[in-house]
Amino acid sequence: MTRKDFEERTRFEQILTEEAEAQNNDALPQWSRKQSALVAARLLCRHGKTYSRIQEAVCNGVEWSHYDTNESFNRRQAAHEAWTEKRETQLEKRIREIVAGIGVGFGVIFQGDPRGCTIKITVPSGRTNDFGKEGICVPGA
């Protein structure tokens, strides 16, 4: 991990913990909200990197070989698409669960284009750090 990556992750963790602390949820003590937001931020960074790689795999598809027939290429492409779709669905479900666990008002935006940020988290205060002003970008995603 480069220094820049580390700084981005630290900034993301800080934003999520600040937003979680700002909520008035008396059911949990403040240290617990901060700790759960920190764990969620780290999980989101981990799953975000995987989600980004899957989006790249979807865009790239299967490599064509000169020895492939149309039928064998189509079979491999169909298997690849089925695998990426299944994994993408699993990750989206898991990420939604993590974001819901942070608190009320947090949301998630998925984007399939791997050239930019593929996952953005919406926070209750409306704070953003992306060019589209949609949410907080998950580092590595």
Q: How far apart are CA 126 and CA 104, in angstroms?
A: 13
Q: In sequence order, what are the residues at sequence separation of 6 or more whose Cβ sits closer than 8 angstroms to the Cβ of residue 81?
A: 58
pLDDT digits (tens, 9 = 90+) for 10-59: 999 999 998 888 876 555 555 566 678 899 999 999 999 999 999 999 99
* pLDDT at position 20: 87
% of the chain at pLDDT higher than 70? 92
Q: Which residue has the higher pLDDT, 86 or 130?
A: 86
* pLDDT at position 26: 54
Which is it for strands 107-110 and 136-137: parallel, antiparallel or unpaired?
Answer: unpaired
* pLDDT at position 81: 95
pTM: 0.87
**Structure-block tokens of residue 6:** 């580390």
pLDDT digits (tens, 9 = 90+) for 60-75: 988 888 888 889 999 9
